[in-house]
Amino acid sequence: MSLAHITASANQPRVEKVPAPVYNLALRAECPHDISVFMEISAKLGWVINIMSGKNDKMFPDTEIIFESSVSHKRLQDLLDKTPDLHTMADTVLPTELYTGIRTYGPPYKD
């Protein structure tokens, strides 16, 4: 999803696409199914989610992903917090440089 920027040049307006912001985020889910639910909901909202990498815990069904998003972690957190059974994702989603995988058991969430 991108925004349009309109400029005027020589009697004719010109529309230029302005790229949507890209947020580099990470989160932990209780299981791979939760990631699928998250991706399905995001697609219905028109949000772009591009999974860059993921890993599963060897002893538990937990799944971690690193991804690019067209929406901020705060907007994702709000969506995940309101969606049944995605609380682990809501508690762990952060920009990659701040990500620990440790649940906050929020809200309120810390930045």
**Residues 75-92: pLDDT tens digits?**
999 999 999 999 999 999
Distance of alpha carbon 27 from alpha carbon 99, whole angstroms? 7
Residue 91, number of CB atoms within 10 A of its CB: 21
pLDDT in tens, 16-73: 666 668 999 999 999 999 999 999 999 999 999 999 988 887 777 889 999 999 999 9
Quote the CA–CA distance of 20 and 17 in Å, as a whole number: 9
Residues β-bridged to residue 105: none
Between 28 and 10, where is the model more confident? 28
Tell me how far apart the terminal alpha carbons of the chain are, to the nearest angstrom. 26
Domains of the chain: 21-111 (3.30.70.260)
> Is the pLDDT confidence value at 10 over 60?
no
Name the one residue in this structure whose structure tokens are 């989603």. Answer: 93
74's CB contacts (< 8 A; 6+ apart) are none
Bridge pairing between strands 23-29 and 12-18: unpaired
